[in-house]
Structure 1
């Protein structure tokens, strides 16, 4: 889900792949009389649809006029270059009562990076009110509750690749790229104190906790490894403890 330097094309590909956060968005239904059509299901991303239909992520974005940050909606109809039979087969699998549903992550848990590969620190002080879940549609990060205005810190050193509020349901959102394989995401912020393209240090204050895009004051925090949302608490130290590295 990450490639290369932060030139325009790699950043576009990056957003296609990491924003599995993002099933709600501003794009309307797209349809056409020419070519196969795929209907977006819960848990879909352009990357998953690309694999199911044989259409590249770049072509999906081009055919359907999807621009950054590449949001798609459940029920949206997407034109594809791939086999309509392939897309239909993928869709029908999800409807069977006993059929296995492909989870929304792409790297299996057995291939997650080892603990200690990178040093992560807690992004905020507070209580974890919603833990990470591997279930389809489950929480792909952790929700930390505290008082409004509680400082939000960069969990690791990196480069800010997104600052904005265009992603419905996430409010004021910050994403930081750490090397080639990792992204951290910080949602529902009140104030945001970094800019896109800015380099940040681990522990640097980047925002204050708020309730934008949600109904309570909290931070939704994700660690993504090669586009896969992995369990932050597996890699974070005990609250108040030293990093696991």
Structure 2
């Protein structure tokens, strides 16, 4: 009976964590409606800005990377130019009608059941030791703005090892979250979780305990338009900037 209760508890935690990442997707959609008023959208057309990638546009607009590439005739590796006009299309087939619906929804007061996670003060640097989850250049930094990148994107080679940034228990392994591909989530304690997205392969299972630096996946491009690792650190369900807490690249944490 105790074992069953533990399993149910972890399952419940996994659902909560998955929903917290879904909130990130929702905030991306909210950002797309905000951008509509600033001129980034014109009907069903998105204008590429500095730092945009096809996978980021996919997350913001709800149109899959493959569909964006097909609609716009963009071949791999999906290179974009600033100012380029990108046609977008949602699952219902009508971007403009969907966008109007989204604007109408976001204009209404949110109920307590759909409100975002309450913001909390970020923890002090050095309060917990973190390891780099892989090696490579950070090609997309963290952004705390609405619809911004809630982690960092690290470029690398396909099949490159992905490591647990700290010891903990795996609470999610799967690819049900659109835009994240093969995803691994690790709970480290009652305050911290980490997420590792776009993996080629995953090497751990839900409820498995892992140690800091343990290989948990290999880098890939699942749910993305390029080979990279999307890495998040969440403190009390809020995304924080991993680069503030990770040691200098190539070095070990001093804490």
Mark yes or no: TM-score above 0.5.
yes
Question: Match of 2:16?
Answer: 13
Query: Does structure 1 conserve the Cα–Cα contact (< 8 Å) formed by 2:29 and 2:147?
Result: no
1:134 to 134, 144, 151: 144
**Aligned counterpart for 1:211 among listed residues 217, 221, 238:** 221
Taking the aligned partners of 2:207 and 2:175, their CA distance within structure 1 comes to: 16
Q: Match for residue 135 of structure 2?
A: 125
Runs of 4+ in 1 over 4 A off after TM superposition: 73-77
Q: Secondary structure at the match of 2:169?
A: strand
Of 106, 119, 133 in structure 2, the residue corresponding to residue 107 of structure 1 is 119
- 1:182 and 1:194 mapped to 2: Cα distance? 19
Matched, 1:22 2:44: no
- Equivalent residues in 2 for 1:1-245 (5 A)? 6-23=9-26, 42=30, 88-89=108-109, 106-108=118-120, 111-245=121-255
Separation in structure 2 between the aligned mates of residue 105 and residue 130 of structure 1, nearest angstrom: 24
Q: Is the helix fraction higher in 1 or 2?
A: 2
User: For 1:19 and 1:119, how far apart are their aligned partners in 2?
Assistant: 27
Q: Rate the CA distance shift 1:13–1:143 in 2: closer, same or farther, 3 A.
A: closer
Name the CA distance, whole Å, in 2 between partners of 1:207 and 1:7: 21
In the TM superposition, what is the alpha-carbon distance from 1:15 to its structure 2 partner? 3.3
The count of aligned residue pairs is: 179
Partner-residue secondary structure (3-state), 1:114: coil
Unaligned runs of 5+ in 2: 1-5, 32-61, 63-89, 91-97
1:14 and 1:150 map into 2 onto residues whose CA distance is 26
Task: Identify unmatched segments of 5+ residues in structure 1.
Answer: 25-39, 44-72, 78-85, 92-101
